[in-house]
Amino acid sequence: MDNKTRLKKIISGSKQAEACTRCGGCCKGGAPSLLKEDAALFNSGILNQSHVFTIRDSELVKSHDDNTLYESIELIKVKDKPGTSECIFFGEGNICSIYENRPAQCRQFECWNPAEVLNGLEANRLTREELFAESDAIMEIIRHHEQKCSYIRLKDALDMMAAGEELAVDELIDMLQYDTYARPFIQENFSISPDMFDLILGRPMTQTLESFGFRVMNDGDNYMISTIQEETKE
């Protein structure tokens, strides 16, 4: 599946209207991905780095139309309100609190033609490399984390584990431990607020692993990994 198809599966939704009626349907259905031009919103203070998170390359995410899981490319997205699919800037009365300075994808989005927003997305998306271009230290953290905890490496470990290879469990636990301890490390050594971790490193793998069908419980350095299917049977 090529990147454009992957993005179409993730973002596309049902037609809702033939023109924008300010119903708030798009805001309730998921927050926008950021484009390169949205970097200016950070410079002006409209957005700050705690407002967004990173979907990393090959991370599994749900499409908006049928909740099917698909692999993504790296995207920086505005956060949803906890426990919902509603953008954090969407409020009562179907009002966006940053409407006059909303991200480019919000301005471009047409709910009656949702696939149109995909045009140029892969080329024009804002990435961590561009957002942190002036911070060699943070980029080094991101690159090292990707080397140790990429989703490609995760999928390889899960495939090996399914094939009964015992060393794959050690590989998986190594990734989970690195991902877990990288967060307090960068907080302590770089004075970075914890609410920025999901942007710099993406969401914790102990959470996103559920998309791959596994649940993680940990007590200190001890991890217990089970399949969600096994839990359902119990």
pLDDT in tens, 75-132: 999 999 998 889 999 988 888 999 999 999 999 887 777 677 777 889 999 999 999 9
Global pTM? 0.85
pLDDT (average), residues 200-215: 92
**Cβ contact 111:25 at 8 Å:** yes
Q: Cα separation of 91 and 13, whole Å?
A: 22
Statement: residue 229 has pLDDT above 80: no
pLDDT of residue 178: 95
201: left (phi over 0), alpha (psi -120 to 50) or beta: alpha
Find how far residue 153's CA is from the centre of its chain.
17
pLDDT (average), residues 174-190: 92
pLDDT of residue 23: 79
